[in-house]
Amino acid sequence: MFSRLLELLELKEVVDQAKSEAIISLTTLLYQADGKVKMEEQDLFQRLIDELPWDNHYISKEAYHREMVAKSLRALKENHLAEYMEGIVPALKSDPHVLAMLRELAISDGNLDPREAEILTVVSNLMV
């Protein structure tokens, strides 16, 4: 599954800092959407972010992820998903590989939760 995610993301291509941050933000939101984070999802996510390039000298990738955990939980709790993602999705530059990777991550636990489906729809709509 991990190699499939990397293949979809095609990390062989240049991924700039803004795109790395957007991928971390959206994958964090996605794996928290169903209210239960399975070990497989967490392991997959960790391996994915380990592979992302990082060039932010002010915050580490791990600290950024912790910050996104809090922000994404707030967006989910307050049901402000579209508003939350509006500031994130443009950094993806309408990359279809990222959308495909997000879909794969969403179903990695064998189930597509309605909140996960909503997130994928919003991302898809914002990419157009």
CA–CA gap between residue 87 and residue 44 (Å, rounded): 25
Instruction: Identify the pLDDT of residue 7.
Output: 56
Instruction: Identify the pLDDT of residue 3.
Output: 55
Contact 116, 34 (CB under 8 A): yes
Distances in Å between the alpha carbon of 23 and those of 28, 82, 98, 110?
A: 8, 16, 8, 21
Contact 86, 126 (CB under 8 A): yes
77: nearest Cα among 35, 119, 114: 35
Burial 52-86 (b: 16+ CB within 10 A, else e): bebeeeeeebeebbeebeeebeebbeeeebeebbe
Structure tokens at 36: 């239960």
Give me the chain's average pLDDT, please: 85
Residue 68 has pLDDT above 90, yes or no: yes
For residue range 89-119, what is the model confidence (pLDDT) as tens digits? 999 888 888 888 888 888 877 889 999 999 9
Model pTM score: 0.86
